[in-house]
Amino acid sequence: MTSAARPIGHQIIRLPEAVSTNTLVLESPEYLENHGLVVIAEHQTGGRGRVGRDWASLPGRQLQFSLVLHPPLPREQTPLLSLVAGLAVGKCLTRELALRPLLKWPNDVFLGARKVCGILLEMKMQGGAPQVVVGIGLNCNGAPEDFPPDLQESLTTLAHETGRAVNMQALFAALLAGQQEAYDRLLAGQQTSLLEEWSAMAALEGRALIYPTPEGPRPGKALGLTEEGHLLIETAAGATHVHHSGDLEWTE
């Protein structure tokens, strides 16, 4: 079997604790070389989020894991993996728990106005080919009150939203299967339909937002996605801005 043909989760390394599963994988050449490897930790002491944020860990009540992908895609298409990973999580929550998640560019998953899942995608180039680490943090059991006070208003957990304890092992298996399905579709050239599904789950078109610029935050309106998964924003002056990175704020 070639490395790329190995399924996601063909090998799963389970740890009681890691500083950050993403860091661990990125710093271990033998892990990074292993397409489909998954490293999951019950607790992270230094979990990392996007744009330099920390990721708060609730030991044993979250799914916190990183998976390795060697996508046979040109480098400019690798940002798509980020959107596709979020879409796969959203679809899994719909299928398994009958929830109605909302995606926020590029890959946060919300339930109502509160975030339930964050994804950190990092990459190293090896011989001209990308080795990608997709780090997923999903708040499963416990309640918003279990998080540090400054996060309690903005985060939620699946148990809090459904009123039931979550079977984390079953959900983990479903998440890996969902990532595999979405990855296969991307490689099979179904980029357009994946982006359409992403936009629908984000209720994207026409959404009012604030986006960062070197001159400070600016108001705008989401127009859609480019083929590479960048966000098209209509500026207050009516121009079209292509947004590549940086956090957004929905204002409606």
| Contact set with ligand BTN (CB under 6 A) | 20-22, 44, 47-50, 53, 55, 64-66, 108, 118-120, 135-137
Nearer to ligand BTN, 110 or 183 (CB): 110
H or E element at residue 24: helix 21-26
179 strand-pairing partners? none
Shortest distance, CB of residue 63 to ligand BTN, whole angstroms? 8
Shortest distance, CB of residue 234 to ligand BTN, whole angstroms? 26
210 strand-pairing partners? 219, 249
Shortest distance, CB of residue 64 to ligand BTN, whole angstroms? 4
Output DSSP code: residue 240.
E
Nearer to ligand BTN, 130 or 191 (CB): 130
- For residue 114, the number of C-alpha atoms closer than 13 Å in the C-beta half-sphere is 15
Q: Give CA torsion, residues 115, 190, 36, 173, to 10 deg.
A: 50
Shortest distance, CB of residue 3 to ligand BTN, whole angstroms? 22
Shortest distance, CB of residue 58 to ligand BTN, whole angstroms? 11
- Judge whether 202 and 211 are in contact, CB under 8 Å: no
Nearer to ligand BTN, 87 or 191 (CB): 87
Nearer to ligand BTN, 80 or 191 (CB): 80
CA nearest to 100, candidates 113, 90, 86, 87: 90
H or E element at residue 218: strand 218-225
115 strand-pairing partners? 110, 155
Nearer to ligand BTN, 71 or 106 (CB): 106
Nearer to ligand BTN, 119 or 191 (CB): 119
State the Cα–Cα distance between residues 136 and 14, nearest whole angstrom. Answer: 15
- Judge whether 92 and 158 are in contact, CB under 8 Å: no
Shortest distance, CB of residue 133 to ligand BTN, whole angstroms? 8
Comparing every residue's Cβ against ligand BTN, the nearest one is 118
132 strand-pairing partners? 69, 123
